[in-house]
Amino acid sequence: MSLYEIHNMAVTIAGNRLVEDVSLIVEAGQCTAIIGASGSGKSLTCLSPFGLTPAEVAGSMILDGLDLAGADAAQISDVRRRLTGFIFQQPLTALTPHLTVGAQLQEATTQAGAARPSRRELVRQLERVGLSRADERLDQFPHRLSGGERQRVMIAAAIAHDPKLLVADEPTSALDASLRAEIMTLLDQLRAEQGLGLLLVSHDLASVEGHADQLVVMERGRVVESGCASKLIASPGEDYTARLIAATPRLQEPAPALSRPGEPLLETRDLGVAFDRPGWRRGKIKALADASIMVRQCESLAIVGGSGSGKSTLGRAIAGIGPVTAGEILWQGTPLPERRQRSLDMRRLIQPVFQDPVASLDPQWQVQDIVTEPLCNLRSDLTGAERNEMARQSLSAVDLPEEFLARIPASLSGGQAQRVAIARAIIAAPQLLVLDEATSELDPLVGAEILKLLARLQGENGLSLLFITHDIAAARRLCHRIAVMEEGRIVETGEMQDVIDHPRHPVTQKLIAVS
């Protein structure tokens, strides 16, 4: 008998049936992954049986011989205490900020009724999840730890009471690619050592591939397909699964056909950005140092690096929306001035697109006003009617129907909002787009479409693209060349395929190994 079995489960919130007819199995020591786009009901599926959502659950959910469907609140609470551990997406918000790591681990251990653990026991728990200098960490507060370290502490707390089932809701989505691989490897290791069953939820097929034994693909609250992970990926039975697999960028896939680059367009020479320390403290924080890159006409350059590597700072400096403290930016050989000194003509040439599509649109404005905003300033020679005509053209260039002009951002999905943001960026006919993680917050299917759209726009309009990302496989689908960054410096540049085949710098080698 399996550790955890769900049969024909349905989840209802306030009369709306959000998940229907879901069945899955988690074996001890194995990993079952639920994959699906946002809103497909995957989190509800894994959290609702344990009373962690306001939903009503029907069906049968048998954990270790106990049917959770018939259990009352006290029994479910007891199951949560003894049998299960939970890991959530946001490692900072999931840890209590005012308690030290040691205090939180102690709470996690004793809540199942165990005796108060000794300090040595707590150290052992932290070492089990691969944290170095564990003794010192016990006295630290969560904000002193990096994102990856916090996630390790979360895992240590989740397994402190030796549960049989670990439920992980997007455990690696907030982490960059190399941390992602480390955390997944840690979870594999814990499964093998402790015989833990793992129920994993992710929107990203790439991050569970090679780790999950069973795969459950969900769409709109229903299971599309489920089965052995490696078989499913090799030969998907359903169209949706096939599209999901095709949308997930892989380094092994054939090289894409890209446009032919022209003359050099933009160049930076020893660009540096330093920020004042906050408050009245002295000294500077160097976010970027000696960054020299070059982008040709009709070319895409990928800037790849982990979080905090300075890649966004570089992008913002080039787009004229962030400070520059050293070096210069050349546009076809002539220097571009700093942020506020740029003339409107110069601004027209470079436009940014941001990571969070919803936050990049003013929530109070209509799509029409959002898209035409650059025209009002950069092309003041146009009449209102001409502007509206251009807004229509711009929307059709990003494959959105005309009706969207009257919509407000709150009524757009992530992918639609990102299309509107791109429509705004291209409306004034720029020559360079700075794309700051423009696809990383989107579901894989939507992200893949945005990548296609960008490649098409490049072919049609001869746009140059600066594609800032942590995902080297996604960058490969679009970019001719790559610059790898770490700690504010560019450590390696070259042709995309060359760098992937023969990475020289250890940072690049690591990035490629985990992709």
Partner 1 sequence: MLKGHFPLFLVLVIVLLALLLPLLLPWDYEQIDWDAVRAPAFSGSHIFGTDEIGRDRLARLAAGTRITLMVAIAAALVSLIVGIAWGATAGWIGGRVDEAMMRIVDGLYALPFMFIVILLMVVFGRSILLVFVGIGLVEWLTMARVVRGQVMALKQRPFILAAEAAGTPSTAIMLRHILPNIAGVALAYLMLTVPQVVMVESFLSFLGLGVQEPLTSLGILVKEGADDMDMTPLGLALPGGLLVMILVCLTIEGERLRDRYS
User: Smallest distance, Å, CB 378 to partner 1?
Assistant: 5
Among residues 421 and 507, whose Cβ is nearest to partner 1?
421
Closest to partner 1 by CB, 352 or 447: 352
Nearer to partner 1, 77 or 377 (CB): 377
Among 22, 61, 175, 319, binds partner 1 (CB under 8 A): 319
Contact, 201 vs 43, CB < 8 A? yes
Task: Tell me if 70 contacts partner 1 by CB under 8 A.
Answer: no
> Among residues 161, 316, 392, 470, which is the contact residue for partner 1, using CB under 8 A?
316
Contact of 60 with 69, CB cutoff 8 Å: yes
Q: In a 3-state reduction of DSSP, which class is residue 474?
A: helix
Q: Cβ distance 390 to 410 under 8 Å?
A: no
Does the CA dihedral 41-42-44-45 come out positive or negative?
A: positive
Q: Which of 356, 382, 388, 408 binds partner 1 (CB under 8 A)?
A: 356
CB of 274 to partner 1, least distance (A): 15
Which of 275, 373, 388, 510 binds partner 1 (CB under 8 A)? It is 373
Consecutive H or E run containing 73? helix 73-82
Q: Which span (73-81, 192-200, 341-349, 453-461) binds partner 1, by CB under 8 A?
A: 341-349
Instruction: Return the number of the residue (438 or 499) whose C-beta is nearest partner 1.
Output: 438
Q: If binding is defined by CB under 8 A, does position 364 make contact with partner 1?
A: yes
Torsion angle of alpha carbons 242, 182, 356, 337, nearest 10°? -120
Q: Interface residues for partner 1 in 415-444 (CB under 8 A)?
A: 421, 424-425, 428
Instruction: Using the rule CB under 8 A, give the single segment among 15-23, 33-41, 71-79, 350-358 that binds partner 1.
Output: 350-358
Q: Which of 128, 150, 348, 387 binds partner 1 (CB under 8 A)?
A: 348
Interaction residues for partner 1, span 167-206 (CB under 8 A): none
Name which of 101 and 390 has its Cβ closer to partner 1: 390
- Which member of 321, 326, 382, 408 binds partner 1 (CB under 8 A)? 321
Which is closer to partner 1, CB of 428 or CB of 496? 428
User: Of the candidates 32, 241, 268, 355, which one interacts with partner 1 according to CB under 8 A?
Assistant: 355
Nearest to 451 by CA among 462, 464, 427, 435: 435
Nearest one of 84, 88, 77, 160 to 117, comparing CA atoms: 160
Please name the amino acid found at residue 350.
I
248 part of the interface to partner 1, by CB under 8 A: no
Spatial distance between the Cα atoms of 480 and 504, rounded to a whole number of angstroms: 18
Span from 100-108, 195-203, 241-249, 356-364 in contact with partner 1 (CB under 8 A): 356-364
10 vs 321, which CB is nearer to partner 1?
321
Using the rule CB under 8 A, is 377 a contact of partner 1? yes
For partner 1, the closer CB: 421 or 450: 421
User: Closest distance between partner 1 and the C-beta of residue 433, in Å?
Assistant: 11
Q: How far apart are CA 155 and CA 108, in angstroms?
A: 11
Among 86, 240, 354, 404, binds partner 1 (CB under 8 A): 354
Helix then strand then coil, in percent of the chain rounded to 5, is 40, 25, 35
Sites for partner 1 among residues 45-64 (CB under 8 A): none
Cβ(105)–Cβ(156) below 8 Å: yes
What is the per-residue DSSP string for 412-461? Answer: S-HHHHHHHHHHHHHTT--SEEEEESTTTTS-HHHHHHHHHHHHHHHHHH
Residue 352 as a binder of partner 1 (CB under 8 A): the answer is yes
In angstroms, rounded to a whole number, what is the distance separating the alpha carbons of residues 444 and 439? 8
Report the interhelical angle of 119-128 vs 147-158 (nearest 10°).
120
Sign of CA dihedral 501, 505, 510, 511: negative
Smaller CB separation from partner 1, 255 or 344: 344
Within 10 A of 308 (CB to CB), how many other CB atoms are there? 16
Q: Which of 385, 354, 390 is CA-nearest to residue 372? A: 390
Cβ-based nearer residue to partner 1, 377 or 497:
377
Strand partners, 436: 468
Q: Which of 125, 207, 360, 464 binds partner 1 (CB under 8 A)?
A: 360
* H/E element, 141: none
Binding track over 259-298 against partner 1, x by CB under 8 A? ---------------------x------------------
Interacting residue with partner 1 among 54, 283, 333, 363 (CB under 8 A): 363
The residue (of 163 and 414) whose beta carbon lies closer to partner 1 is 414
Q: At 153, is the secondary structure helix, strand, or coil?
A: helix
Q: Give the CA angle between residues 239, 256, 426 to the nearest 5°.
A: 95
Sites of contact with partner 1 (CB under 8 A): 280, 316, 319-321, 344, 347-348, 350-352, 354-356, 359-364, 373-374, 376-378, 421, 424-425, 428
